[in-house]
Amino acid sequence: MSERWARTFLTAYRFAGAAAYPLVGPYVAWRTSRGKEDRIRRRERYGIAGRERPEGPLIWIHAASVGETIAVVPLVESILDYGVNIVLTTGTVTSAQVAEERLGDRIIHQYVPLDLKPAVSRFLDHWRPDLAIIAESEIWPMTILELGARRVPQVLVNGRLSDRSYKSWKKRANIAEALFENLAHVVAQSDVDGERFLSLGARPVTVSGNLKVDTTPPPADERALYTLKRQVGARPTWAAISTHDGEEVVAAEVHAMLHKRHHGLLTIVVPRHPDRAEALAAQISGMGLKLARRSKGDRIIADTDILLGDTMGEMGLYLRLTEIAFVGRSLTSEGGQNPLEPAMLDTAVLAGRNVQNFRETYQRLLDSGGAKLVRDRDMLAGAVNFLLTNEVARHEMMAAGAATVEEMRGALALTLKSLEPYIQPLVVKSRLKGANGR
C-alpha cells in the first residue's frame, strides 16, 4: 500500500465519515454498545454540548471506559492543580459514574462524540481544546485527523497496543503512519508498546509504565463491607473476578470440587458484564448450588455456595472479602484483565495463560511470586486448594504482589514530565488571563 494511497484513503475517510469505512474507526463498536448509553445525554454523542465552555485554556482528556477512567484520575487531579480547565470524555454510563464519584464538578464531563465528521467538528467547534490527551488504545481516525487539521497537539498516554491491534495496524502500515504522525507524543506503558508505536510511525515515543499502578485501591462502602463480613464470618473464601463467558461455570465447578475439603467454602463470582447475571444465576443454580445475588440484596447464609457480584463499582468490596482471586478473560477468553487491583489489596492472584494484554504486569507479578498462571479448571482447583490449605504460602504470595505494585509505581510522574511542554504554556496563559482579569 503506497503512502499516497493511504493519504487518499484518509482524506476520503475525513469527508465520508467512519460509516463509510467501519473497519477503520470505532463506529461499529459504538453500534454494538447502544442500549448501554445515557438516553438523556445522547445528544452529546453527536457533538452537541451539554455545558458551556469555560473561559481560558482547556484540555480535553478522553478515557474510554471504567478502567481507563480510573487510570487517568490521578493525572486529571495533577493537571487540575495547575489551574487549567478540563473536559473529560468517556464512552459508557459506568465510566461517567466513576468520573462523577472521583472528580465531581472539578471537571466537565461529556460523552465522547462519535467518530463521524459532523459530530467531531461540532464537539471541537464548541470546546476549542488547546490540548488533547487520549488514554490507552483509543485510535479514532476522524478525531485524530480533525485535531490535526486544527493544529491541536494530541498526546496518547498510557499507550498500549495489544497483539491483535498491532497485527491489524501492521497490515495497514501506511494508514497507521499517516494517522500517528498527527500525534505530538506517545507515552507508552511498556518497552514492547513503545517499540510497536515507533514501528507504526509515531514520534516521539517515551515509556512511562502503567498509570493504573499509580491509582489508589478500589474503594468499598464501609457499611456494606461490615455487613458482608459479618455474614461470611470465618468461612474460607476465594473469588473469580472480571470473568467472561465460560469462566463462571469453571468457578462453580471448582467450588463443587473443593467445598467438601474446605468446610463452608464461599466462592465469590464477579462477572465482567453484570448484565449476564440472570443467565448466570440460572446456570449456576442448575448445577445444584445455592446462590446469593448482590444486586438483589440476598443474605449470605450458612448454605450459600456462591455470592454472585452482579453489581458495578464494587470490586473493592468483593476483593476485601477474600485473599485469593482468579482474574478472568484468561482461561476461556483471551487478553486477560488487569491484575493490579487485587494485588494492591493484598490478594494472591491467579489467572489463565491468555493474559497478552497485560503481559508485562503479569510477568512482574510472576517473577516476584505474586501471581500464578493455571492451564485449566483442574489446575485452578489445585491452586485454590493449595492456597486455602497453606496460610504461609498464601500470605507470602499476597505480600509479594503488594510489594511488586509498589515497585512498579512512578508512571504518573514520568507522564507529567512528558506532558510538561504542552501544559506549561497553558498554565502561563491561564495565569496571565487571571492577572489581566483582576
Would you say residue 82 lies in a domain?
yes
Residue 35 is assigned to a structural domain of this protein: no
Residues 116 and 150 in one domain: yes
Q: Give the integer Cα–Cα distance in Å for 280 and 252.
A: 10
Are residues 231 and 299 both part of a single domain?
yes
Catalytic residue among 37, 44, 68, 101: 68
Give residue 20's pLDDT. 40
CA 252 to chain centre: 26
Q: In whole angstroms, give the CA distance from residue 130 to residue 121.
A: 15
The predicted structure's pLDDT at residue 10: 62
For residue 159, give the CATH number of its domain: 3.40.50.11720
Phi and psi (nearest 5°) for 335? 115, -40
Q: Are residues 328 and 249 in the same domain?
A: yes
Number of structural domains the chain divides into: 2
Per-residue pLDDT tens digits for 8-38: 556 655 554 444 443 344 443 443 344 456 7
Peptide bond between residue 54 and the one before it cis (omega within 30 degrees of 0): no
**What span, in angstroms and rounded, lies between the C-alpha atoms of 107 and 116?**
25
Work out the average pLDDT over 413-428.
97
Query: What CATH number did the domain enclosing 359 receive?
Result: 3.40.50.2000
Whether 348 and 415 share a structural domain: no
Residues 226 and 336 grouped into a single domain: yes
Whether residue 419 sits in one domain with residue 399: no
Q: Is residue 57 part of a domain?
A: no
Domain that holds residue 152: 65-214+410-429
Q: Is 68 an active-site residue?
A: yes
Q: Are residues 183 and 268 in the same domain?
A: no
Beta strands in 208-258 (DSSP E): 237-243
Cα 213 to Cα 75: distance, rounded to the nearest angstrom: 12
Is 393 found in the same domain as 340? yes
- Interval 305-318 mean pLDDT: 96
Say yes or no: 203 and 269 in one domain.
no
Instruction: For 166-193, write each residue's pLDDT tens digit.
Output: 999 999 999 999 999 999 999 999 999 9
Return all residues near 437 (Cβ < 8 A) that are at least 6 apart. Answer: none
Strand order through the sheet with 205-207: 108-111, 85-90, 58-62, 131-135, 154-159, 185-188, 205-207
Reading the block at residue 59, the C-alpha cell is: 484540555
pLDDT at position 253 over 50: yes
| 213 pLDDT above the threshold of 90 | yes
Same domain for 247 and 173: no
Answer yes or no: is 41 within a domain.
no
- Provide the sign of the torsion angle of the four alpha carbons 32, 96, 296, 283, taken in this order: positive
- Ramachandran sector of residue 261 (left: φ over 0; alpha: ψ -120 to 50; beta: rest): alpha
Instruction: Clarify whether residues 381 and 359 are in a common domain.
Output: yes
